[in-house]
Structure 1
Amino acid sequence: MRKATIKRTTKETDVEVAIDLDGTGAATIATGIGFLDHMLDLLARHARIDMVVKANGDLHVDYHHTTEDVGIALGQAMKQALGSMAGINRYASLYMPMDETLTRVAIDISGRPTLVFKAEFPRDKIGEFDTELVREWFNAFAGNAGITLHVETLYGENSHHIAESCFKGLARALRVAVAIDPRNAGEVPSTKGQLGG
Structure 2
Amino acid sequence: MQERKAAVNRDTLETQISVALNLDGTGAAAFATGVPFLEHMMDQIARHGMIDLDVRCQGDTHIDDHHSVEDIGITIGQAMHQAVGDKRGIRRYGHAYVPLDEALSRVVIDFSGRPGLEMHIPFTQKRIGSFDTELFWEFFQGFVNHAGVTLHIDCLRGHNAHHQIETVFKAFGRALRMALEVDPRMGNAMPSTKGTL
TM superposition shift of 1:35: 0.1
Residue of 101, 104, 121 corresponding to 1:119: 121
Quote the residue 2:167 is aligned against.
165
TM superposition shift of 1:104: 1.1
Distance 1:159 1:133 in 2: 14
| Runs (5+) with no aligned partner, structure 1 | none
Moved over 3 A (4+): none
Quote the residue 2:65 is aligned against.
63
Percent of aligned pairs with the same amino acid: 53
Distance 2:47 2:191 in 1: 26
Deviations 1:91-138 (A, max 9, x none): 112211111111111111111110000001111111111011111111
Distance 1:97 1:143 in 2: 27
Quote the residue 1:86 is aligned against.
88
Distance 2:170 2:33 in 1: 19
Quote the residue 1:148 is aligned against.
150
Distance 1:39 1:30 in 2: 13
Distance 1:117 1:10 in 2: 27
Distance 1:92 1:74 in 2: 18
| Runs (5+) with no aligned partner, structure 2 | none
Distance 2:51 2:106 in 1: 21
Distance 1:128 1:12 in 2: 20
> What amino acid is aligned across from residue 164 of structure 1 in structure 2?
E
Matching of residues 37-52 of structure 1 within 5 Å: 37-52=39-54
Distance 1:177 1:148 in 2: 12
Stretch of structure 1 that moved more, 91-100 or 48-57: 91-100
* Count of aligned positions: 195
Normalised to the residue count of structure 1, the TM-score between the two structures is 0.97
Secondary structure, counterpart of 1:23 in structure 2: coil
Deviations 1:49-72 (A, max 9, x none): 001100010000000000000000
Normalised to the residue count of structure 2, the TM-score between the two structures is 0.97
Secondary structure, counterpart of 2:106 in structure 1: strand
Deviations 1:13-54 (A, max 9, x none): 000000000000101111111101101111101100001100
